[in-house]
Amino acid sequence: AVPADSIDYVFKVVVIGDSAVGKTQLLARFTKNEFCFDSKSTIGVEFQTRTVSIKGKVIKAQIWDTAGQERYRAVTSAYYRGALGAMLVYDITKRPTFDHVARWVEELRAHADSSIVIMLIGNKADLAADHRAVTTEDAVEFAEEQGLFFSEASALSGDNVDKAFFRVLEHIYAAV
Ligand code: GDP
Ligand code: MG
């Protein structure tokens, strides 16, 4: 553990997106390097933390998980309060979860700080070969239109998970 007095910054990052896209597993992968195959729908844990070093500063990333409130507009504004970053997750094998991304962006624009750093994540990239339902090009186009960062990733294999979170944390840091 890192002594509390050595932490330079605490950055709140929220994870949002439709149910079952892999939000909780992305968070578990980033904070504990774990993946749990039979994860139940989220049970009340508000956030997990991981302390990282960015440009010589000690940064505690506080990553918030929705407690199964993914129904449209059920995530309250308290969840977004103070958030400096957002991981907006869809499932590359489930087209509707990508079609709903625009709604989640609206939610962020309505409730979060206007300077929030947003990373769109196409999760379950390990299933791309046989089950892809959203092309990378469609996602890149949407992300560019909306001014979001974008990456495909896999909580299962771990591919691009650290990279995506670090990119968000570095952009937050660059603005503090
Ligand atoms: P949440 O509702 O968005 O928090 O989704 P969960 O993290 O609970 O994951 C939903 C389901 O998708 C679970 O059965 C996970 O095991 C599975 N899952 C999550 N991430 C991945 C991934 O990267 N690849 C694959 N193949 N399955 C995943
Ligand atoms: Mg969950």
What is the pTM for the complete model shown?
A: 0.94
Block residue for tokens 């990119």: 167
Closest CA to 131 of 139, 123, 142: 123
Report the interhelical angle of 101-111 vs 136-146 (nearest 10°). Answer: 20
Q: Is the CB of 66 under 6 A from ligand 1?
A: no
Q: How far is the CA of 62 from the centre of ligand 1 (A)?
A: 20
Q: What is the pLDDT of residue 73?
A: 67
CA of 167 to the centre of ligand 1 (A): 22
Per-residue pLDDT at 45:
59
- Cβ < 5 A residues, ion ligand 2: 23-24, 42
Report the relative pairing of strands 57-65 and 117-123 from DSSP bridges: unpaired
Rounded distance from Cα 21 to ligand 2 centre (Å): 8
Instruction: Give yes or no for residue 151 CB within 6 A of ligand 1.
Output: no
Rounded CA-CA distance 171/111 in Å is 20
Q: What is the pLDDT of residues 1-51, one digit of tens each?
A: 677 789 999 999 999 999 999 999 999 999 999 998 776 655 555 899 999
- Note whether ipTM > 0.95 here: yes
Residue 42: the pLDDT is 52
Read off the tokens for 174: 């660059």
Pick the ligand that lies closest to the CA of residue 104: 1
Instruction: With CA atoms as reference, report the closest residue to 164 among 27, 19, 68.
Output: 27
